[in-house]
Amino acid sequence: MIRTTCPYCGVGCGILATADGTIAGDPEHPANRGRICSKGAALGETLGSTARLSHPQIRGRTTGWDEALDLVAETFRQTISAPGPDAVALYVSGQLLTEDYYVANKLMKGFIGSANIDTNSRLCMASSVAGHIRAFGEDVVPGCYDDIEAADLVVLVGSNAAWCHPVLYQRLVAARDAHGTRIVVIDPRRTATCEIADLHLALRPGTDVPVFAGLLVHLVETGCCDPAWTRSPAAGFAAALDAARGAAPSLRAVAATADLPVADLTRFYDCFALTERTVSLYSQGVNQSAAGTDKVNAIINCHLATGRIGRPGMGPLSLTGQPNAMGGREVGGLANQLAAHTGFAAADVDRVRRFWNASHMAIRPGLKAVELFNAVLDGSVKALWIIGTNPAASMPRAGGVREALNNCPFVVVSDCWPTETTRLADVVLPAAGWGEKDGTVTNSERCISRQRAFRPAPGEARPDWWVVREVGRRMGWGEAFRYRGPAEIFREHAALSAFENDGGRIFDIGALAELSDEDYDRFQPVQWPLRRGRGAAGTSRLFNGPAKFATADGRARFVATPYRPLAEPTDRERPLVLNTGRVRDQWHTMTRSGRVPRLMTHKSAPVLDIHPEDAERLGLAAGGLARVESGYGATVLPVRLTAEQRVGEVFAPMHWTDSFTSSGPVDRLVGAVTDPVSGQPELKGTPVCLTPLSTRWRGCLLRRVAAPLPEGPYWWTRVPLDRGHAFDLAGWEPLLGRPSLDDWVSRLLGAPPEAELIAYADPGRGDFRFASIIDGRLDACLFLARLAAALPATDALVTVLGTEISPGMRRGLLAGRVNNHATTEDAQAICVCFAVGRRALCHAIVERRLTSLSEIGAALGAGTNCGSCLPELQQILRSVQRKQAPAA
């Protein structure tokens, strides 16, 4: 059993893992204390995938490392000599380990001589970084997870922690159950997190600044501010309060701007004002905004004004999305930072240059993510290396990013799996993945933990630090990139943090600079800072006084945050606001989580959530198709009617890509307006219009292989199965209108010429059924009908895919009689750990008279393992109880 950490979210849970894929939460890790969520629990099922990239490729041709690395190094070297270092760029990832991140930044900023290295963390928490630097003088998270449990009030802003940070959410639920923590959720959507909220403020998107400006004014007017924090003129409180009064001229004005009831707003303000132990958790709903930095500072202002920071149970706490977003910040992973929490001031540049003995030190910030891909598109960046991320699907204006990559003279992509981005690469480099490499990560509470290898990498896949080292050596910097392993890189990273650091830089892990390789192997989780000579205990909280910050005078800074509405307003042409975000069991663009069948059972397809009033006005029915169009692109999505959405706003998940659905990535629709301070793009406020498409037919397809389906016009989505793939299909043009139905069906089935094809057709009823059999085994089957209700359930047909088909079974198969009582509702797993579906759950609640989550757990096991499903179990329990309650 190896102690490692989860590669998904920023909670940074400790995991116990074995080479055979057995996974458990680590009871000794401070982040999770043995807990684990559904994604973490399924990690074992992501190991050993046959689809991994295992050998370097040059333009589709498999080759060896020497040829691939020589080509990368030589092309970069030529590009640096003309047109120059700024024509080279790296785009990396919060999935990288700190050691990978460190050497990539050193190569780019210290030796190639440009700061054109940015990271997908720009899309995640760049606004928090900028907000921290403005308020604290340095990018430092003041508190820790224990504060969530010690708080009397927890305010979640733009955070669906129940789905996106599930283990922290479980800790919050346990704290609420133990001592009655009050919980306020501020989010335009009624998310699963609202299940435990005492108050949900469903504010108009983009109005967080007026809400928190109004809170600051309220704190002043009710005498709740602490003069020790507000009285210093240098702290900027007067200007911040002026701006707050401008953004929030009165309670009624805030309520009108944010579209909230005055009574709810008053309740929140009073609750905050009267509760000293208050923690504000915020996440992508705050950060992913063209006003994200101001939102962050509007929240921090309220904590500074009351002195509620740096003490147990209080403080602002940004939840990072990715497992090592924080580690990336430590090494200067963002284009506007240098290593060890320094910037591009001349003294910082000189210090890092001397420490690295750098030959070509970057002297100014580089291009931030959106700017970087714009520069690729306009041809000023000519050689690009992408490591561990999939921008062709995840960047806003993803269509433009694809065009940029297509036009770029030289694109290198390092990854574990084929992606939309590797398809556009000149050189693909196979990366060692989770469980196959060693290094460290830092979670949202500054806790550094080890990731440890426990199985070999496939084929010739190598850790990213090794690949960067090899390129650096081949470019002529062998001495600077002589590392023998990640421990050596970590020691150098730790030493740099302490280099000429007299306490002015808070990020200091100098106490770890002399770890032996054995110490590094045994490394236990610890929170920075960890200065030389100050013991090995780490630091759980910082800033417990008004003059303990990383500014020139040591005082925190209040920041004036004027209100700016959504950067792109809706209008008559595009009257709805598109919000994007995560679902519970998927991660990023599904390159890992999308390979686990049981993680697809919670949400098996991308859907557009819309309020029933909007749906009725637009003529959209539940499950029907809508064409969604923004100023940047268009797609087709099925709709889900839900009052969890505000009227006038729709929501789509960010995960599904072209590999999984014809809808493609939703980021094709999203614009790329960025925050002027942080450069983080607005991902949650794109104006769109919807057009209903009347569904003429529905289909289900089961296939052994996942090869691409023929082009439209129709919608499809794919769900991986243990022995193949299930596709849902729907069309808005008549089936019989197709010029060659036979050819289209044959391409859908993917049937080779030797396949035996059996078919049934009733054109009058619009009913078509096909099966393709190879060597006596069912290779694919396809059902098409006018109505979804006429289709057999795909989860029942799955059981015969790839198996021998007897003559009797053939008849039954085409008649759709294979357990056709199952419905989609049955297939939706609520608890993926114990495979408990909605129907079984409702049945058990009624028949066994279950009245609480603990009774459900005792009866079915549901909710007793990872706990990710607890909010939905609670919703379903309430809904069944409401239906059963006698009419008043």
Shortest CB 391 distance to ligand SF4, Å: 22
Q: Where do we find the tokens 């009617």? A: 641
Contact call for residue 40 and ligand SF4 (CB under 6 A): yes
Q: 333 Cβ partners below 8 Å, 6+ apart? A: 92, 94, 101, 105, 117, 118, 119, 121, 327
Residue nearer to ligand SF4 on the CB measure, 138 or 872:
872
Contact call for residue 44 and ligand SF4 (CB under 6 A): no
Shortest CB 611 distance to ligand SF4, Å: 30
Contact call for residue 162 and ligand SF4 (CB under 6 A): no
Q: Classify burial at 618, counting beta carbons within 10 Å of its beta carbon; exposed 0-12, middle 13-18, buried 19 or more.
A: middle
The tokens for 844 are 């058990």
- Which residue among 47, 53, 135, 167 contacts ligand SF4 (CB under 6 A)? 167
Shortest CB 111 distance to ligand SF4, Å: 34
Contact call for residue 716 and ligand SF4 (CB under 6 A): no
Shortest CB 852 distance to ligand SF4, Å: 24
- Which residue among 16, 17, 23, 36 contacts ligand SF4 (CB under 6 A)? 36
**Which span sits near ligand SF4 by CB under 6 A: 64-72, 121-129, 160-168, 522-530?**
160-168
Spatial distance between the Cα atoms of 593 and 46, rounded to a whole number of angstroms: 7
**Which span sits near ligand SF4 by CB under 6 A: 161-169, 277-285, 372-380, 726-734?**
161-169
Is residue 608 within 8 A of residue 688, CB to CB? The reply is no
Q: Where are the beta strands (DSSP E) in 6-146?
A: 14-17, 23-25, 57-58, 61-62, 88-92, 117-119
Question: In the 8-state DSSP scheme, what is residue 681?
Answer: B
Contact call for residue 578 and ligand SF4 (CB under 6 A): no
Contact call for residue 121 and ligand SF4 (CB under 6 A): no
What's at 353, amino acid-wise?
Answer: R
Residue nearer to ligand SF4 on the CB measure, 45 or 152:
45
Is residue 666 within 8 A of residue 653, CB to CB? The reply is yes
**Which span sits near ligand SF4 by CB under 6 A: 159-167, 239-247, 609-617, 742-750?**
159-167
CA distances from 578 to 51, 193, 272, 686 (A): 34, 20, 30, 5
Spatial distance between the Cα atoms of 212 and 303, rounded to a whole number of angstroms: 11
**Which span sits near ligand SF4 by CB under 6 A: 30-38, 105-113, 760-768, 856-864?**
30-38
Q: 423 Cβ partners below 8 Å, 6+ apart? A: 392
**Which span sits near ligand SF4 by CB under 6 A: 134-142, 162-170, 338-346, 553-561?**
162-170
- Which residue among 166, 316, 546, 867 contacts ligand SF4 (CB under 6 A)? 166
Contact call for residue 173 and ligand SF4 (CB under 6 A): no
Q: Kindly identify the residues of this chain, within the stretch 1-20, that bind ligand SF4 according to CB under 6 A.
A: 6, 8-9, 11-13
Residue nearer to ligand SF4 on the CB measure, 167 or 362:
167
Phi, psi of 415, rounded to the nearest 5 degrees: -160, 170
What's at 416, amino acid-wise?
Answer: C
Q: Kindly identify the residues of this chain, within the stretch 339-378, that bind ligand SF4 according to CB under 6 A.
A: none
The tokens for 708 are 């691409």
Phi, psi of 543, rounded to the nearest 5 degrees: 70, 45
Shortest CB 533 distance to ligand SF4, Å: 33
- Which residue among 3, 39, 329, 718 contacts ligand SF4 (CB under 6 A)? 39
Residue nearer to ligand SF4 on the CB measure, 159 or 336:
159
Which residue's beta carbon is nearest to the bound ligand SF4?
Answer: 40
**Which span sits near ligand SF4 by CB under 6 A: 33-41, 515-523, 778-786, 815-823?**
33-41
**Which span sits near ligand SF4 by CB under 6 A: 62-70, 164-172, 651-659, 812-820?**
164-172
Residue nearer to ligand SF4 on the CB measure, 113 or 166:
166
Shortest CB 868 distance to ligand SF4, Å: 8
- Residue 529 preceded by cis peptide, ω within 30: yes
Contact call for residue 183 and ligand SF4 (CB under 6 A): no
Residue nearer to ligand SF4 on the CB measure, 323 or 486:
323
What order of strands is seen across the sheet that includes strand 88-92? 61-62, 57-58, 427-430, 410-415, 383-387, 88-92, 117-119
Contact call for residue 104 and ligand SF4 (CB under 6 A): no
Q: If binding means CB under 6 A, how many residues of this protein chain bind ligand SF4?
A: 14
Shortest CB 151 distance to ligand SF4, Å: 19
Q: Which residues of 739-775 are buried (b: 16+ CB within 10 A; e: fewer)?
A: eeeeebbbebbbbeeebeeeeeeeeeebbbbbbbbee
Contact call for residue 171 and ligand SF4 (CB under 6 A): no
CA distances from 850 to 178, 725, 844, 873, 886 (A): 22, 36, 7, 12, 17
SS3 90: strand
The DSSP secondary structure of 371-430, one letter per residue, reads HHHHHHHTTS--EEEEES--HHHHSSSHHHHHHHHHH-SEEEEEESS--TTGGG-SEEEE
SS3 577: strand
**Which span sits near ligand SF4 by CB under 6 A: 37-45, 182-190, 602-610, 879-887?**
37-45
Shortest CB 458 distance to ligand SF4, Å: 23
Give residues in contact with ligand SF4 (CB under 6 A).
6, 8-9, 11-13, 32, 36-37, 39-40, 165-167
